[in-house]
């Protein structure tokens, strides 16, 4: 296991003791903004001497340039059999070529060494992902902000950990981009990634994807490929 992947595996270990007794209060993240009463606007007094206002110009649809199409993100191949949590709490896909490991009961998947056509290499472990689980005291639906807050609360102790805007993923999940740093000895290198949070009965699943600069280009594909595979265990028929 590379030192860079220990960055977020260690964070899960730091919060492990809290996860057992952590209680959910979804109402803390609901919108409780006060409703302000609106003061009726004063009725304007017409001025006969005033000239009539010129009509507003009608925009020409042809003059508005169309929005560029959203860039497509390629999905990556997966192993035919997903990773199954020994505690029967969740399953997640295994990207082909990634090395699966278990560290202190936590699954860890690291990218392989990649040889580029220009003879450059992307070192093994440039991209890695893991899954954490947080228990819930209620199955009440969580909004996007609440799911993003779970991600922040779980990994906020990371070195220079910062997050971007939280976005919904369907009706039961959200994604949160993040960045941070990893210091090894006297060397500091930037890290970035994506956190996918999905609510399932009794729990919230948290998929953390992390990458160094060498693996940053792979992040969108890795996150998009893995997000739909993060699920509760399928019931055996």
Determine which helix (DSSP H) or strand (DSSP E) holds 99, and give its type and residue range.
strand 99-103
Q: Indicate whether 25 belongs to any domain.
A: no
pTM of the model: 0.72
CATH number at residue 144: 3.40.1000.10
* pLDDT tens figures, 76-118: 999 999 999 998 999 999 999 998 888 777 888 999 998 878 8
CA angle 91, 73, 134 (to 5 degrees): 30
Q: Indicate whether 6 belongs to any domain.
A: no
* pLDDT tens figures, 199-231: 999 999 999 999 989 899 999 999 999 999 999
Both tokens of 131, joined, read 């899954």
Q: How many domains does the chain have?
A: 1
Please say whether the dihedral angle defined by the alpha carbons of residues 164, 167, 169 and 174, taken in this order, is positive or negative.
Answer: positive
Q: Indicate whether 85 belongs to any domain.
A: no
């Amino acid at each position: 296991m590379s030192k860079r992947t220990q960055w977020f595996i260690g964070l899960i270990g730091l919060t492990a003791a809290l996860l057992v007794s952590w209680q959910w209060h979804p109402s803390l993240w609901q919108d409780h903004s006060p409703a302000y009463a609106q003061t009726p606007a004063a009725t304007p007094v017409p001025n006969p001497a005033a000239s009539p206002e010129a009509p507003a110009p009608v925009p020409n649809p042809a003059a508005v340039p169309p929005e560029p199409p959203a860039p497509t993100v390629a999905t990556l191949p997966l192993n035919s059999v997903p990773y199954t949590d020994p505690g029967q709490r969740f399953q997640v896909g295994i990207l082909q070529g990634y090395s699966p490991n278990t560290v202190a009961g936590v699954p860890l998947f690291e990218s392989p060494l990649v040889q580029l056509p220009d003879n450059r290499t992307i070192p093994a472990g440039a991209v890695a992902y893991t899954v954490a689980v947080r228990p819930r005291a209620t199955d009440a639906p969580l909004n996007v902000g609440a799911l993003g807050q779970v991600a922040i609360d779980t990994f906020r102790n990371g070195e220079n950990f910062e997050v971007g805007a939280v976005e919904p993923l369907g009706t039961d999940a959200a994604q949160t981009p993040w960045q941070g740093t990893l210091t090894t000895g006297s060397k500091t290198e930037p890290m970035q990634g994506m956190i996918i949070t999905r609510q399932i009965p009794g729990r919230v699943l948290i998929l953390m994807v992390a990458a160094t600069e060498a693996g940053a280009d792979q992040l969108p594909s890795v996150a998009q490929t893995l997000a739909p595979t993060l699920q509760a265990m399928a019931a055996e028929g």
